[in-house]
Structure 1
Amino acid sequence: MCIEINPLLIERVRGLSIEQLETLGEALLDFSEVAELEAWLNQQEV
């Protein structure tokens, strides 16, 4: 299965700190759709 990721979403991930990337790496195991990644990124910006 190939999922197309919005380029803006990719840029948001690239802007994360090392600590956030480590946390995201663990969280990704629980995600089943791109919307969950978007929600996770939105929580990081709060």
Structure 2
Amino acid sequence: MFELNDLRQTRFFQDVFEEGKKEGKQEVFEEAKQEGKQEVFEEAKQEAKLEVIPQLLAFGLSIEQIAQGLGLDEQVVRQAAQPKS
């Protein structure tokens, strides 16, 4: 069975991760941690998880796999997977 650790080894995941870093998300994480703003850090981390859900679905992972891998409730994943209007 395809697990999250397997996904992390794929070129797709690595490209998506690098793209996120280029957009400055990693800087936000590090800055928030250094300044002791745990709440800001957690919000940014949650936002990043939600943003990657459509890409993980496109990669073929199920709602359940994504929820388990990201540590999110399945309902949260379903909501994030719905197209924005």
Q: TM-score, normalised by structure 1?
A: 0.40
Q: TM-score, normalised by structure 2?
A: 0.26
Q: Comparing both chains, which one has the higher relative contact order based on Cα–Cα distances under 8 Å and sequence gaps of 6 or more?
A: 1
Task: Specify which structure has the higher proportion of helix.
Answer: 2
The structure number with the bigger radius of gyration is 2
